[in-house]
Amino acid sequence: MFLLQATNSSSVVSTALFLGTLGMITLVICLIIFIIFHQRKVIRYQMQLQTLEQEQQKVLLNASVRMQEEERQRIAADLHDDAGPLLATARLYLNENLVNLDKASQLQSIFQARQILDDTIQLVRNISHSLMPPTLKNFGLESAVNDAIQKIGGSGTINASCRFHDYKERLQVDTELLAFRVVQELINNILKHSHCSFIHITQHMTASHFVLRIHHDGKGIVQADFDRLNKSKTGLGLKNITSRLRVAHGKILFEKDASQTYYKVTMEIPKDDPFHQ
């Protein structure tokens, strides 16, 4: 009887050990399967994220290419439509028959040609200034932004002001031009779409970054809107901003003030030669 009980007890223990081992093996297998599926899910997510980033890069690249192409077309149109006719007209006054005219007619033709050439020189200068504003080139970003703001304020319709708090040393020439173009694009968007009554620009420096902030009390956007528009087929101006700042390793943040009374846009650009970082 005792032997039978011992045998039954041993059988129960063996069964328990077998079931426990089977359960552990099943648990390990399930854990391995879960890890494999989880890793595959992570890999798929990373691939989708990479695809989205590549698509975003293409969108930004296309925006940058379109921006450059539009700029080239504008310059080409200005030269063709304005400079070309002026030079052709000047040539008419300086043709080979000029030597056969009397002195008074010669002087009149030369004077007319000179006036036309002066107009052409001014036209070319204006085109050059659109590529690199003289105020920016000669006096720096602070003066260029102040000049733009004063022109807006001079209209009498918008209260516009600008305050650079800490701009003792100028940024690199390329960085200043990039920052100025971004400010121009932002101000242009604000004037076109926000219906604001004031625009105020402030600037300060951190240990490593140039920081410029634009405040306005009109209709604006927050960062989620900016990110969404960057991914859409519209909003070329905003894509241009992103493309420029990406080149300079800069950042931009669109937000509404805590008071909910105005919007602000903050641009940060590294101070030290961001184009070669």
For residue 201, the 8-state DSSP code is E
CA atoms within 13 A on the CB side of 20: 6
Does the pLDDT value for residue 36 go beyond 60? Answer: yes
Q: What is the mean pLDDT of residues 17-42?
A: 68
Give yes or no for a contact between 63 and 240, defined as CB atoms under 8 angstroms apart. yes
Give the start-to-end residue ranges of the domains of the chain: 1-131, 134-276
Give yes or no for a contact between 161 and 200, defined as CB atoms under 8 angstroms apart. yes
Strands (E), the chain: 159-164, 198-205, 209-216, 251-256, 263-270
Higher pLDDT among residues 140 and 43, named by residue:
140
Distances, alpha carbon 253 to alpha carbons 25, 108, 159, 222, 233, in Å? 53, 60, 23, 8, 21
Check residue 256 and give its pLDDT.
Answer: 92
**Out of 51-65, 66-80, 225-239, which region has the weakest mean confidence (pLDDT)?**
51-65
Check residue 179 and give its pLDDT.
Answer: 92
Answer whether CATH 3.30.565.10 is correct for domain 134-276: yes
